[in-house]
Structure 1
Amino acid sequence: MAVVMPTPSTNDRAYTPLIREYKEHRARARKAGRKTVDSRRPKQHAPKGDWRIWLLHPGRAWGKGFTAAHWLRDRVVGGHARRIALVGSTNRHVRQVMIEDPLSGILKVCPDAVYRRSDAEVIWPNGAKAYVCSAENADKPPLRGGNFDTAWPDEVDSWGLETTNEKATTAWDNLTLSVRLGDARIIVTSTPKPGRIVAGLLVRARDEGDVVVTTGSTYENAANLSPQFIKDIERRFKGTRLERREIYGEVPEDVADSLWPPGVFHHRRVKADQCLRVAVGVDPSGGGDAIGIVAAGQLTPELFVVLDDWTTTGSPAKWARRTKELAEKWRADVVVAERNYGGDMVLSTLKAASTQMPVRMVTASRGKHIRAEPIALLYEQKKIAHRSGDAALDLLEEEQRFMTTTGYVGEG
């Protein structure tokens, strides 16, 4: 049964603070000239049909938060949303991004709504109520054991960055089980990075039909974006493997027999002093190909983390200098370099960059995909994670997807 907040009475002392808060809020809204104007593009309106979940995974700055907030407003005004779950990685994320964002937050889209921070709730004049929930509190009410008719989980595949992957999974499972009242519906907003939850929803959309998917390009919202932002995002992603994902909102298709399928990557926040040991690997290439330079550390006896990918092109002096800088950044215990291309030149080049750099030379005797198989297995066992918050590691993950049981099938 939906919970309806009683209509406040001016003679009821219990509701006097709430009445005052509503009046003050409306007065501020009128003074600031805040009006509810529907400026959505056609794709930002909810699809028709009897769907359960609406998944939004467009390119950057497309307006997915703006779309979700308007959808909530429509549900509240139409009487379909009485108990709403707002779910982010943390309570702070829900407050700052979903509720208080000055351009696309709930309070901007719904001027009559009131955010009661002490109670972690958003209340509308008709009694509809939204509850702040987070993955970090996945096992606690209101997410656990709650009863909702509407939910907005934001950036679902990033929940594990602020908490743990286990809590993120628990939060998602508890949420989907709790949205069960009336015309129960969920809007999921996410970047198009192929994490476990989004990948599962895409399969569900294809096989079951109760999930509808909307994607779109950054350029669709260009009228509301700074021209400099457009230039910056093009400078960063144009011509890279991430262009289709970050600008056009396309989730990469599965690669047949990939050693690193969608959902296999896990992420952690890591500081240099947390690692028991750190190694930097250098893979000089033949010809003019890129030189792989990657740092990895050991967090526990059973957990390793990829820290940085400084892969580069250029002269031996350049990649040797980059190797030295990366080793210094993470206080590496050893630099491991392949001698297959360059032989003793590799060692002498590294020593020329720094005589203090501890270098260990190795010779690769098998193909890359053969050597990658046991490493990929450790990813599946959650024994290898990637440091979160690094765009270079996003590109590394995209490249790893194209390493298959028969070899590398990507470009380059």
Structure 2
Amino acid sequence: MTKQIDFYIDKNIVDGFYNSLKRYIIAYGGRGSGKTMQFAALSILYAIKNPNSRILAIRGSQNRISESSLQMMKDVIFMMGYEEYFTMTENTLKCHNGSEFIFYGARNYHTFKSLRGINLCFVDEATELSKSAWETLIPTIREDGSRFLISFNPEKEEDWVYQTFIVEQHPEAYVIKMNYNDNPYFPKVLRQEMEWDKSRNTAKYLHIWEGELISLTEGALWNYDMIKHSKAADIEDYEKIVVAIDPSVTSKATSDACGLIVGGRLKKNRYDILSDKTAIMSPKTWATTAVQLYNYYQADYIVYESNQGGDLIKTVIGDLDRSIKCYPVHARRGKKVRAEEILYLYEEGYVTHTKHFKTLESEMVTFTGDKKDKSPNALDAMVYCLKSLTPNKVRVQRGTHPGQMGSMRLRH
């Protein structure tokens, strides 16, 4: 009689392991997703269903057996109710059908070559393994039908495991990105930690909980510490609300996105970014979206860049609603100079974002002003929006270093 499993395993992991037949099953992403525990459960099921198999469990940070995946494996066995199938000691884990688990640390990779007959290799904290470790490990796992379960939280783009399986898309890899919102049993205590990071530290939240890479762009005008978040005020509390458009004239896959930002000004010259709907859209689609945002936020007017598209913007929006006020902005200065003109608002804490606007914030922390950079469409729209909302236009001399702008203040 088969014992019923009372343990959650994501259907994508199940499909990857049992249906794809790929050699490498990859689960990566943020904390709290349950990917490590679920891979441990798959390893345990494999041991039970495949007599006399050998499962190698590698943990990146392990130096001693006490730091290995052994205790986690034991915990999962008890959670699944499968303890009757195993003999467990302080340092070993064996299945009654002859299957056994072997535990290694990544720093001992020189000894991988001595391993024989491994059928399944579970690598946790996979970014801890160096390129040399992987190049030693992979040829060692050479039994017919042998496979890998690989889990990690992304760190740096140059990490071998990230480059090989995510960037270069190894043909024998089945890749799943998992975050806390994929885990129906995400613990309440971790949710509280996640919400705290989300409200206080964008960089930490994106890296730890959303599984984003640690990314620092040298020379970028903004950094994540400059981007603050708070809840939006009531609509009636805003003195002025503006919808800003950095338009695109086509909707091809190779086209620039249409920057579409909503911002509002509160008392004491404080500003909220309320919405970012930047995307590749046709003129009709972005015009319709802009009108919807205008009505939803009860905006005062729409401001748009007239360099590209000219009167097209006003015409397309006018066809939808002639009562909407539209004002053009002609960009005479370069993107970097325009951005520097509102940078001080972030440096001095005058601006907050009411949500984590991934597109906008990613552009902000990677924008250097280099002409080779991809056009920052959301950032351009945000600049037009804040310049329109700022009661006293503040200009900086061409070439002013961003660090010199900290002493600038709004004039009340």
TM-score where L is the length of structure 1: 0.47
Q: Which has the larger radius of gyration?
A: 2
Q: TM-score, normalised by structure 2?
A: 0.47
